[in-house]
Amino acid sequence: MQHIRMNFFTFILLSITTFFSTQLLAIEEIDSVAIIVNKDIISTQEINNKLEQIKAQIRLSKKSLPRENNLKKQVVERLILDSIQLQLAKLQGIQVNDLSLNKALENIAKKNQTTLDKMHSLLEAQGVNYNNYREQIRKDMVIRQLQQRMIYSRVKVSPQEIDIFLEQQKQSGDAANDKYHLAHILIATPEAATPEDVTKALNKAKKAISQLNEGNSFNDVALSFSDGRHALKGGDLDLLSAAQLPPLFLNAARSLKIDDITAPLRSASGFHILKLIDKKTQQHFVKQTHARHILIKADEITSNEQARKQLNKIKLRLDQGEDFTKLAEKYSQDPGSKNNGGDLGWTAEGAFVPRFTQVMNSLKDKQISEPFKSQFGWHIIQVLARRQQDETEQLIRKKAELSIQNRKADEELQLWQRRARDEAYVEYLIEIN
């Protein structure tokens, strides 16, 4: 009986201890909540972790750290925007499974010329928690899928837009492959800005330019002032083609010399300050091969072995000097090239299936291959010539289309993000200095 009583009192004591421990934990969790964003929360620990992660990235890039308060404000805004987008993605049912995440991490490691295991060790050595990093990549992938669904997949480019853009490039003297490396500061104005809002933003932009003229680095000023999406990268937009730049940016960039900074440029988003870091004019040459072939297919009537033997006989006749064109017109079963004597015309690298490309690339000019098999049947190839060719008009137009689409989508994305931020419920439980 005493043993039972002891167990009962022990149970009561453990229950009380558990209850108060749970309450203390709940209090600690409430105390750690820094910001409420709609139905989500951002903890103080999340802010600190993100802050340390950004600091590590800045140190690795060998750039100077901005003032703690300025950097913290940028980090907090990034976390709020990410939270809003992740909540919208959840409503859309967007998820990233472990298989897709692992593939993305392997690609990141490959781009950095290392393995996933080594990247894990390198991150831990830099003080970055790998599990946190992994989950951040998952969140980034979810956000990109949301943006693709909401913005990028809906943006269309008309043939007329491509024509106008290419004509503008021609008239301005820009090469089709000109690229600009810009840094950017955005001083945002509200969607329905009052004259007072505009004046306030312009004064802030002038103050930023004043600091730049005093010798402060663009990186530091962007981190302190910019409302742009690339603020945490010091405003660095990376290398972009002319078609990827908004007309406002492109027109300004054309007149800049390296390291020049623009006056404030007004748009619907606010005031922009640009710095030209570099400009490159690139020519993209593609390797092209002019070849012809004879194809014999295996089917219900002709067995695989019979097709091979038939082609061997044709190869023997070619070796004895018979005309390739006539033999192709008579025997080849490729409807696309048969009537042209097997001529495939000039084709770029990667136009054919891997086995065909492998054999074609192994041949010298004028050389005829031995019979070989691909997924389409048995072939003989002769390479007639090779050349390095500048991109065709079709490829230039395709590149222009993709660049214009990305530029238009980026503009839409910025407006969409601002609208989502303005419409969200955001409550600060701590002071962000």
pLDDT per residue over 118-154, tens digit each? 888 888 887 778 888 899 899 999 999 999 999 988 8
Q: Which CATH number does the domain 160-284 belong to among 3.10.50.40, 3.40.640.10, 1.10.10.60, 3.30.420.40?
A: 3.10.50.40
d(CA 297, CA 377): 4
SS3 at position 205:
helix
Residue 49: the pLDDT is 84
Which H or E run includes 249? helix 247-254
* Class of the domain covering 33-150: mainly alpha
State residue 212's pLDDT score: 95
Are 376 and 297 in contact by the 8 Å Cβ rule? The answer is: yes
State residue 418 phi and psi, 5-degree precision.
-65, -40
In this predicted structure, what is the pLDDT of residue 241? 85
Amino acid 57: pLDDT: 74
Task: Give the integer Cα–Cα distance in Å for 348 and 286.
Answer: 7
Tell me the pTM: 0.54
The more confidently predicted of residues 67 and 141 is 141
C-alpha span between 364 and 137 (Å, rounded): 47
Mean pLDDT (the chain, rounded): 86
Q: Which regions of the chain carry the CATH code 3.10.50.40? A: 160-284, 285-390
Q: Report d(CA 249, CA 414) in Å as an integer.
A: 15
Least confident of 52-61, 141-150, 387-396, 401-410: 387-396
Partner residues linked to 426 by β-bridges:
37
Each residue's pLDDT tens digit, 189-229: 988 889 999 999 999 999 999 999 999 999 999 999 999 98
DSSP string, 96-121: --HHHHHHHHHHHHHHTTS-HHHHHH
Can you read off the two tokens belonging to residue 421? 């931020």
**What are the structure tokens assigned to 102, written together?**
């692992």
DSSP state of 59: H
Per-residue pLDDT, 376: 92
Encoding tokens for residue 11? 């149970």
The CATH T-level fold of domain 285-390 is Chitinase A; domain 3 (3.10.50)
As annotated, the residues of the chain forming the CATH 1.10.4030.10 domain(s) are: 33-150
Q: Can you tell me the mean pLDDT for 389-408?
A: 79
Helices 130-150 & 116-125 angle (0-180, nearest 10): 110
Residues 75 and 67: their CA atoms lie apart, in Å, by 12
- Residues of the chain above pLDDT 90, percent: 55
* Distance of alpha carbon 53 from alpha carbon 181, whole angstroms: 25
DSSP SS3 for 1: coil
User: Residue 222 has what pLDDT?
Assistant: 94
User: What crossing angle do the helices spanning 98-111 and 116-125 adopt, rounded to 10°?
Assistant: 80
Q: How many CA atoms lie within 13 A of 324 on its CB side?
A: 20
